[in-house]
Structure 1
Amino acid sequence: MGTRLDDKISSAADRTIVITGGNSGIGRAAAAMLAGMDARVVLTVRDLDKGRSAAETMRGPVDVRRLDLADLASVRAFAEEFTDPINILINNAGIMTPPFGHTADGFESQFGTNHLGHFALTNLLLPQIRDRVVTVSSIGHRTGTIDFDDLDWERRAYRPMAAYGQSKLANLLFTSELQRRLTEVSAPVIATAAHPGLAATNLYQREGSRVLASVTEAVIGLISQSETQGSLPTLCAATADIPGNSYVGPGSFWQTRGEPKLVGRSAAAEDAEVARRLWTVSEELTGVEFPLSTL
């Protein structure tokens, strides 16, 4: 069933932690807890007003910066402007099952935002990162496949949940390949991943299809856990003494809720060949490469 980790959340005092999408949901809960540990938290958000409102509810030094993961120009601008050392980068932001659409760079919105935006951000910031990169995936990764012939859903009928699954599978493949590369160059940084299980956030209502919205109150509301509880796997992945490429999630009810533990992932998420191919394709699509390859 995995190793229980809720008692292994370490202090984050005096550490600089950049978290994407920290103004709502589990990202906000995680950011608030980290700020309460006296970390220097940097919230990156699309809407500065919403970000500042969220920051006002948190204790400690919370910095708010604009970053739109659906626009690679915005990702590059943030990386160019934020030059401070970073202890931990938490790739938390994401969208779930929106209507078919594209990012500013023409990618399918979920793949472009959830994966490519974070891929570019991580590699651009990597020379500044001192400890680890945490990427938030989902139990939905188990429904995903990486269709290299149609990553942007241009040749087949768009299925929102399948596209979401592809993006969340990409998050785990990214984590494993990032860890492989970090190990190869003997970097002190590690890559870990987490998922919140089924948390009672506004993600389903805000981005979800009408089908998902209709079952939220009747089903999700019955078995989900709070945003705070859902943020604990992220906190463990960010601060606990765990090896690279660890995956942390709730340990009960088919990983939908419960105390955080090291959990398993799908066979597709462990495919090293697909992970390497996805990395190469992602470099080509974003124009951003692994910056430590020559060290």
Structure 2
Amino acid sequence: MDLLKAMQTFRMVVEQQSFSAAARELNLVTSAVSRQVNDLEEHFGCKLLQRTTRSMTLTEEGREYLTGFSDILDRLSDLQDDMTERQKIVAGQLRITSPSHSAAFGLQPVVSTFIQQHPQVKLSWLIVNRFVNLVEEGVDLAIRVGELPDSGLVARQIGTMQVYCVAHPDYLHKHGEPESPQQLTNHQCILDSSNRQPGRWRFQLNNTPRYVSVNSSLDTSSGQLAADFAADGLGIALLPDFMLREHMLAGRLVRILRDYELPAAKVSVVYPANRVMKASLRALIDFLVETGLPDNRITKTD
């Protein structure tokens, strides 16, 4: 027997002064209502209602138990209301994760604005270039790039990211411009070693994403440094648009191998589908989706 449910049913019967009327209010059949009251009487070992074909009255025990049941049910309702209100408060600890350099493509200012609007939120931001199991590692939300495999996660897009192959005009004048990704083996390439496969660059070949191995003349764990070295004319780099924007607008870097560029990749917020969502997490997700990431596309002819 569900004791709380039986208490609620008993109180409804008393309020309605009828089993059939209580059944309509509770969307139950009358026999189910009668059975719950009988189970309640059996549980407490006393008669709660005195029933005849024409009337129904509370017994002395019934009046005492009704008072006690109502106190329990009302206190439970107050607790539920209080919890609902507390769940609406945007406060508490949030843990998020994203790949290296993701703060640079405009995510940090968006998160900063959110924290300013909700000062009771405490944020822990883990930046790593590895797969993070959100459930096992207790992380509330991840920022991920590209198409996501089917899983028990929900993904909501907040922006896009384009990857460009670039070089300084002087480098291309001196060494020539490669006409295909395969010709990169004849060039000096600058690698971002924070990537999982820094020496394998991905291009669109015959309408299919394919990897091409490249030779490294210089590598660094900072993509921004790789962009700066390329802008100094030291070699060719393959990097996200947000790292290249300033150099490209200034003419220090130009795009090459345009016909082999991959389509823009989605940037999404990802979170577990079946986890009870706290108000702070819901507010952050909605804020990120509504605000979105800045547009890093290059508008100047390059």
- Normalized against structure 2, the TM-score is what? 0.28
Say which one has the larger Rg.
2
The answer to which structure has the higher strand fraction is 2
- Normalized against structure 1, the TM-score is what? 0.28
